Amino acid sequence: MRTYQNQKLLAAGLLLCLSVHLAACKKDQATALAKQTTDSVSATGKKTKVQSTSSAYYIKANETHNFVYGNLLTTYNSYRVNTTTQTTTAYEWYNISQIYADAAMVKIGATAYAPYMNNTFTWMNNMWNGASPTGGYYAAANINGTGAAGDKYTDDNALSGVAYLDAYDVTTGTTKTNYLNAAKACANWLMNSGQWDTVYGGGFWWNTIKESKPTQTNGLAMQLFLRLYQITGQTFYRDWAVSVKNWMLANMLDTTTGLYIWKIDGPGAGTKHMEKFTYDNAIMVEAFLLYAQIMADNTFVTKAQNLGSAMNTTLWQSTYHVYKFNTADGRINPAWCVWGSQAMIKLYQRDGNTAWLDYAQQNIDYMNTKLRNTTNLGYYHFCNFDGSNVETRFEGVDQAWMQRTQAMLSDYR
């Protein structure tokens, strides 16, 4: 994933493809299917209201996809980086985030989104290094699928596996099997690419350059391994998840704030960068909730709750009711900041505490007030806390995460 502290290198070259076969469809604009209003029961036994398609957040999720369809989706079924400066390039994690967003729509009943999800999944073969025994996704390609080569990012590959398992959950038959196999392939690259080593006592490198070991990379890997263990029962996935968990607890937790730090880099024992990012810690909340559920260890529910509370103490901007990008950067971004909303929704789904939902909703509301273009309904890239100094690029990843989180929130608000 790209941040303003770390810019990913664009890739160039050719690659072979994974053999995933999905039927193409006519690219008609997705029409939201009706979703019934029912009562559901949370993990704690508390009833939660499932909203109808009249939810403002469900409507906005659809409107966001309409913007993506009209401005970012290509005739190749890939998504361009943005609408202005990089219109012929596709980033791996931007495309994966849109698959993740469409899976969220299918999950809440909007099955018209499945063809978009599946067609982009097929296009993703262009970014896979089929010439290597371990495979792995490159970071970027041309929108027509050519030109993928160069560096690979562990967080991109881990997020891909996580997104594919969300798609696995909402598909059937051969398509379902293909998503599971693709997630396994991503995990196989993580395990066998040399991205985990003994430097700093363990942990995954951010990328094949091996310049740092960040929280988000390892948290996403932990999520992927846990979910694959749950589905397959293969104990090596469990063992990898435990190894990541142990390394994170020993090396990346700042006990003063209760939050996870940005990264470790440098020679010898390494230098710890103590900045705290919203999305890093949101990823760890989700990882701990999965660990609690899949490993039947409720102490990790408490860890997730404590981490969520720590986020709301240190990373929440209480004047404007929004999650900060990080503790050193006073700006707001739809993708990285709204990841906090996803974590809060996951906490609510586990314990039924509506306070988590309030944070999730207020954070999303800020994005809709300060960063949404009222004419085309797309989301801008950055702004200051007060909404000033707007960076007016329409980045694909920002649209994807606003679509996804609003679809998730629409079940409750």
pLDDT tens for each residue of 64-79: 999 999 999 999 999 9
Judged by average pLDDT, the poorest of 39-43, 87-91, 138-142, 372-376 is 39-43
How far is CA 207 from each of CA 154, 161, 249, 307, 346, rounded to the nearest angstrom?
5, 16, 21, 26, 28
Of 1, 217, 206, the residue nearest 95 (C-alpha): 1
Helices H, strands E: what count in the chain?
A: 12, 13
Q: Residue 56: pLDDT above 50?
A: yes
Cβ–Cβ < 8 Å for 396, 74:
no
152 token code pair: 């690979």
Residue that wins the pLDDT comparison between 390 and 330: 390
Chain segment 329-369, per-residue pLDDT in tens: 989 999 999 999 999 999 999 999 999 999 999 999 999 99
Sign of CA dihedral 339, 273, 384, 10: negative
Give pLDDT, residue 51.
62
Whole-number mean pLDDT of the chain? 91
Supply 44's token pair: 């704690």
pTM of the model: 0.90
**pLDDT at position 29 over 50:** no
One-letter amino acid at 22 equals L
| Separation in Å, CA 261 to CA 218, 308, 333, 371 | 12, 15, 19, 27
- For position 330, what pLDDT does the model report? 87
Encode pLDDT of 196-249 as tens digits.
Answer: 999 999 999 999 999 999 999 999 999 999 999 999 999 999 999 999 999 999
pLDDT at 109: 96
Q: Is the pLDDT of residue 4 over 90?
A: no
Contact yes or no for 105/92 (Cβ under 8 A): no
Backbone angles phi, psi at 97, to 5 degrees: -65, -35
